[in-house]
């Protein structure tokens, strides 16, 4: 049986700010909500969301003999997370200004998993970082890290929504599991709904991706066009207006330091950039997912 304190120490040593532990089970209620979201067509162009629904809400279908989900979160809040001047027309979501979190967090998780395997030779498990059908926000709620806010993001009491998640799905049980967060603390606040410039935040704590600026700037673009409101990669609007983000500290893990400053770059700077300059500036960031040509197209919107 795994020692929960040992797991949490390994998470802190690896650079995570939060760690919660939950038993693996079928999240039937969340699956029902998700199927309703699909039936409403809110996935728009995100066809991959329609696949592997059963696996998404039951980690035991992703890892044979899975017993325990270790959910880790790390703050990435930086100066850019605090918003842009109204006239700025080349806005980049603050998470995307640092090195690609998929690589960074996976390295942190593998460090934890290797240490656990050394301590428990019979242990098996897998690390996940937003690249497999796993309902990570719901698992974070089960692990007591926070609740899902009206903008559909995980809200943590200490770090707000500016957190990135990673999970270990393990085949052993632990001596203690964390208490799930059963209630939302959003109260009567509707800031994220009221301040989404395209109306993408729906009243039922989900996102209509067909209206979402992030989807239009990063993913396979939905058929219906929208105004990007100056965003060229991602969007932080629903986070910038969340009260839980106003007093949260800046990130501590230096692996999430921004590698460029979009506040210092106007639209012309992006339009004048060539491939070599883009590679030098953004090679290790999430912006490579869109590529320079698409980013220039977003600037021209």
Catalytic amino acids?
130
Burial of 106 (0-12, 13-18, 19+ CB in 10 A): middle
Q: Which candidate, 187, 192, 182, 207, places its Cα nearest to that of 161?
A: 192
Are 142 and 22 in contact by the 8 Å Cβ rule? The answer is yes
If phi > 0 it is left, if psi is from -120 to 50 it is alpha, else beta; for residue 145 that is alpha
Specify the residue for token string 């690589």.
Answer: 103
Longest distance between any two alpha carbons in the chain, whole Å:
58
CB atoms within 10 A of CB 158: 14
State how far the Cα of 238 lies from the Cα of 248, in Å rounded to an integer: 15
Closest residue by Cα to residue 79 from 64, 70, 92, 67: 92
Q: How far apart are CA 147 and CA 166, in angstroms?
A: 16
């Amino acid at each position: 049986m795994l020692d929960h304190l040992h797991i949490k120490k390994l998470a802190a040593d690896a650079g995570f700010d939060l760690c919660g532990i939950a038993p693996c089970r079928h999240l039937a209620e969340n699956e029902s909500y998700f199927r309703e979201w699909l039936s409403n067509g809110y996935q728009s162009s995100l066809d991959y969301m329609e696949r592997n629904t059963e696996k998404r809400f039951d980690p035991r279908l992703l890892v044979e003999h899975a017993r325990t989900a270790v959910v880790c979160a790390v703050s990435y809040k930086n100066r850019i997370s605090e918003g842009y001047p109204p006239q700025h027309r080349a806005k980049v979501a603050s998470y995307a200004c640092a090195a690609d979190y998929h690589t960074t967090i996976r390295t942190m998780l593998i460090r934890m998993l290797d240490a656990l395997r050394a301590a428990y030779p019979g242990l098996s498990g897998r690390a996940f970082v937003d690249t497999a059908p796993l309902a990570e926000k719901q698992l974070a709620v089960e692990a007591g890290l926070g609740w899902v806010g009206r903008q559909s993001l995980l809200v943590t009491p200490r770090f707000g929504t500016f957190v990135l998640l990673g999970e270990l799905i393990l085949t052993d049980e632990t001596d203690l599991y964390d208490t799930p967060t059963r209630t939302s603390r959003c109260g009567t606040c509707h800031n994220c709904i009221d301040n989404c410039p395209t109306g993408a935040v729906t009243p039922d704590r989900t996102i209509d991706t067909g209206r979402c600026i992030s989807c239009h700037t990063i993913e396979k673009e939905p058929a219906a066009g929208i105004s990007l409101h100056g965003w060229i990669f991602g969007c932080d609007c629903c986070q910038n207006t969340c009260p839980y983000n106003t007093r949260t500290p800046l990130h501590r893990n230096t692996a999430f330091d921004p590698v460029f400053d979009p506040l210092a770059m106007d639209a012309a700077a992006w339009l004048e950039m060539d491939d070599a300059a883009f590679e030098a500036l953004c090679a290790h960031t999430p912006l490579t997912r869109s590529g320079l040509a698409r980013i220039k197209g977003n600037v021209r919107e």
